[in-house]
């Protein structure tokens, strides 16, 4: 049975690269942190295959990398808890969090590392081929499509940036958008329209991701079935990779009424730091980063958050000592 009450100097919420890195630094600073893993232990990298841009590993499987981060955090003494935080009260210190199974966490500081989730179209075929030709991250997976034809779905900044990035590898990039105009910035649209490798299919939605494999044979994408938004007329397109770029949703529900957010839910931090507007509450990784959204930048922010939490706690301790001495 879960311990009903836990106290810690540092409560880390989330077990992606940001959370585990914060845990390593906070543990080595002798802060005895508690890390709550959430429903996706290891975070977003557990839903991908090869990661080729984690420094020090020319190729590593995402789930294996996250297992190593977990082992590292445990080895330096972090208490790892399999739980999901359902409520967080930042109105007074110590802060309190409530877990799925009723455990209450009382914390002198909080590192919010709850990440972001790529939005998906919600098609069964899209889910089937995720990691096998369907991706939500061109920076991560574009390299696998050298000389091949790929499609990008979406019409925002992310979709246009992903499409432009993919032209570095792919022989052809087809951007498929559900309307007849993009919402991306004009300068990005200009670059897209001028790129000879890009074709745009307007007013079309995705009906199905077409593929091969299964029952022992390797899975792979072979195409897309798309339909005209108004007429419903459908046709098949031959592609090897499909990049869904219809937006990212930061996992900031826990703090949405307590901390300022921007760009659609990303937690605002003081520039150059991970400090939120509430002293003692820090945000690291994709939950605060609407620009880079990479494992290494998330890990870097996790490091910053732990160092800033340590500084915050030392200052609190010094202030309490001064107050006691003055009595």
Paired sense of beta strands 198-201 and 172-176, if any: parallel
Cα dihedral sign, 247-161-45-78: negative
Residue 136: contacted member of ligand FAD, ligand NAP, none (CB under 5 to 8 Å, by partner type): ligand FAD
Query: What is the rounded CA–CA span in Å between residue 133 and residue 239?
Result: 9
Shortest Cβ 160–ligand NAP spacing (Å): 8
Per-residue b or e along 5-26, where b marks 16 or more CB atoms closer than 10 Å to that residue's CB:
ebebbbbbbbbbbbbbbbbbbb
The verdict on whether 137 is a catalytic residue reads: yes
User: One of 83, 108, 141, 289 is an active-site residue; which one?
Assistant: 141
Residue 252: contacted member of ligand NAP, ligand FAD, none (CB under 5 to 8 Å, by partner type): none
Can you give the binding site for ligand NAP, defined by CB under 6 A? 121, 153-159, 161, 178-179, 183, 246-248, 263-264, 290
Residue 212 CA from chain centroid, whole number: 29
- Cβ(253)–Cβ(112) under 8 Å? no
User: One of 32, 83, 108, 140 is an active-site residue; which one?
Assistant: 140
Shortest Cβ 260–ligand FAD spacing (Å): 18
Residue closer to ligand FAD by CB (options 27, 44) is: 44
Residue 247: contacted member of ligand NAP, ligand FAD, none (CB under 5 to 8 Å, by partner type): ligand NAP
Residue 45: contacted member of ligand NAP, ligand FAD, none (CB under 5 to 8 Å, by partner type): ligand FAD
Residue closer to ligand FAD by CB (options 53, 157) is: 53
The greatest distance separating any two alpha carbons of the chain, rounded to the nearest whole angstrom, comes to 80
DSSP 159: H
User: One of 89, 100, 108, 137 is an active-site residue; which one?
Assistant: 137
Shortest Cβ 217–ligand FAD spacing (Å): 22
DSSP 285: G
Shortest Cβ 141–ligand FAD spacing (Å): 7
Residue closer to ligand FAD by CB (options 226, 254) is: 254
Query: What is the rounded CA–CA span in Å between residue 308 and residue 311?
Result: 5
Please list the helix, strand and coil fractions of the chain in percent, rounded to the nearest 5, in that order: 30, 30, 40
Residue 158: contacted member of ligand NAP, ligand FAD, none (CB under 5 to 8 Å, by partner type): ligand NAP
- In sequence order, the 6+-apart residues with CB closer than 8 A to the CB of 92 are none
Shortest Cβ 316–ligand FAD spacing (Å): 25
Residue 47: contacted member of ligand NAP, ligand FAD, none (CB under 5 to 8 Å, by partner type): ligand FAD
The verdict on whether 140 is a catalytic residue reads: yes
Taking residue 325's Cβ as centre, other Cβ atoms within 10 Å add up to: 7
Q: What is the CA radius of gyration of the chain?
A: 22
Residue closer to ligand NAP by CB (options 9, 204) is: 204
Can you give the binding site for ligand FAD, defined by CB under 6 A? 13-19, 36-41, 43-45, 47-48, 51, 53, 84-85, 113-116, 118, 135-137, 140, 251, 254, 285-286, 293-296, 298
Per-residue b or e along 198-222, where b marks 16 or more CB atoms closer than 10 Å to that residue's CB:
bebeeebebbbbbbeeeeeeeeebe
Sequence-distant contacts of 54-63: CB under 8 A, at least 24 apart: 54/295, 54/296, 55/296
Q: Give the H/E segment covering residue 186.
A: helix 186-194
Shortest Cβ 124–ligand FAD spacing (Å): 17
Residue closer to ligand FAD by CB (options 99, 204) is: 99
Residue closer to ligand FAD by CB (options 235, 256) is: 256
Write out the catalytic residue numbers: 137, 140-141
């Amino acid at each position: 049975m879960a311990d009903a009450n836990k106290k810690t100097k540092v409560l880390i919420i989330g077990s992606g690269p940001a959370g585990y890195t914060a845990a390593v630094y906070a543990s080595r600073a002798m802060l005895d942190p508690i890390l709550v893993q959430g429903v996706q232990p290891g975070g977003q990298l557990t839903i991908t295959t090869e990661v080729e841009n984690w420094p020090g590993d020319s190729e590593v499987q995402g789930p294996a990398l996250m297992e190593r981060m977990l082992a590292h955090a445990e080895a330096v003494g972090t208490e790892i808890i399999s739980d999901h935080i359902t409520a967080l009260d930042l109105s007074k210190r110590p802060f309190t969090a409530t877990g799925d199974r009723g455990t209450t966490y009382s914390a002198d500081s909080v590192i919010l590392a709850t990440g972001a989730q790529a939005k998906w179209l919600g098609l069964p075929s899209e889910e089937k081929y995720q990691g096998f030709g369907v991706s939500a991250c061109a920076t991560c997976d574009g390299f696998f499509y050298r000389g091949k034809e790929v499609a990008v779905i979406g019409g925002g900044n992310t979709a246009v940036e992903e499409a432009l990035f993919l032209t570095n590898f792919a022989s052809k990039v087809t951007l498929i958008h559900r309307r007849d105009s993009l919402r991306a910035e004009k300068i990005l649209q200009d670059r897209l329209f001028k790129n000879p490798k890009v074709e745009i299919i307007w007013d079309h939605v995705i009906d199905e991701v077409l593929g091969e494999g299964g029952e022992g044979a390797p899975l792979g994408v072979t195409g897309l079935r798309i339909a005209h938004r108004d007429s419903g007329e459908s046709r098949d397109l031959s592609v090897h990779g499909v990049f869904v770029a219809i937006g990212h949703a930061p996992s900031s529900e826990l703090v949405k009424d307590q901390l300022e957010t921007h760009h659609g839910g990303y937690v605002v931090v003081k520039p150059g730091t991970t400090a939120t507007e509430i002293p003692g509450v820090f945000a690291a990784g994709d939950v605060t980063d609407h620009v880079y959204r990479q494992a290494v930048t998330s890990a870097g922010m996790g490091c910053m958050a732990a160092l800033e939490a340590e500084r915050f706690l030392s200052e609190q301790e010094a202030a309490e000592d001064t107050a006691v001495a003055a009595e």
